[in-house]
Amino acid sequence: MALATFGAGCFWGVEYFFREINGVSNATCGYMGGKDSATTYKEVKTGSTGHAEVVQVEFDPEVVSYNDLLDTFWKNHNPTMLNMQGGDIGTQYRSTIFFHDKEQKAQAESSKLALARSGKWGQRHIVTEIVPIQTFHIAEEYHQNYLEKNNLPTCHLVY
């Protein structure tokens, strides 16, 4: 199994899309990219910790490739919105890819460049950051599989 970590706005919707992929064994909501080690949702939602809401994806690379996960990431949020997605505003909702190794970094950079060249977003700049993995803080249990637990549709807009 391998890991991939993405931030694309509210983690509930991000988790939902990744859980739907064959070859993904788990998608866990959490926080990454900030300075504080003891992180809670109450702290992160203030925007003061520097963390992003992320989903850490455990996947079988023999079944689904990292590039397939990148495609899902790009298709399910707007990577041209700086520090926000839809009505969620703040650095905790930023578009970010945390790479786990050099290969993931190269694939993420290549896919970002390909998306920029595709013209899908016109003249808008893709603001997605691609940064090294940091400490993953698992979100509180009530955030895990939140949409399914509460029988809710995805909260993300599909692009």
- What the chain holds in terms of domains, given with CATH numbers, is 2-149 (3.30.1060.10)
The answer to whether 102 touches 135, Cβ cutoff 8 Å, is no
pLDDT surpassing 60 at residue 48:
yes
Distance (Å, whole) CA 152 – CA 9: 17
* Identified catalytic residue from 10, 27, 115, 133: 10
Question: How confident is residue 73, by pLDDT bands cut at 50, 70 and 90?
Answer: very high
> For the purposes of burial, counting CB atoms within 10 Å of the CB of 136, is it exposed (0-12), middle (13-18) or buried (19 or more)?
middle
Q: Collapse the DSSP code of 6 into the 3-class scheme (helix H, G, I; strand E, B; otherwise coil) and give the result.
A: strand
Question: How confident is residue 5, by pLDDT bands cut at 50, 70 and 90?
Answer: very high
Q: Is 29 a catalytic residue?
A: no
Q: Collapse the DSSP code of 97 into the 3-class scheme (helix H, G, I; strand E, B; otherwise coil) and give the result.
A: strand
Which pLDDT tens digit goes with each residue over 88-99? Answer: 899 999 999 999
Residues sharing a CB contact under 8 Å with residue 120, sequence separation 6 or more, in sequence order: none
Torsion of CA 87, 37, 66, 9, to 10 degrees: 0
Question: How confident is residue 87, by pLDDT bands cut at 50, 70 and 90?
Answer: confident
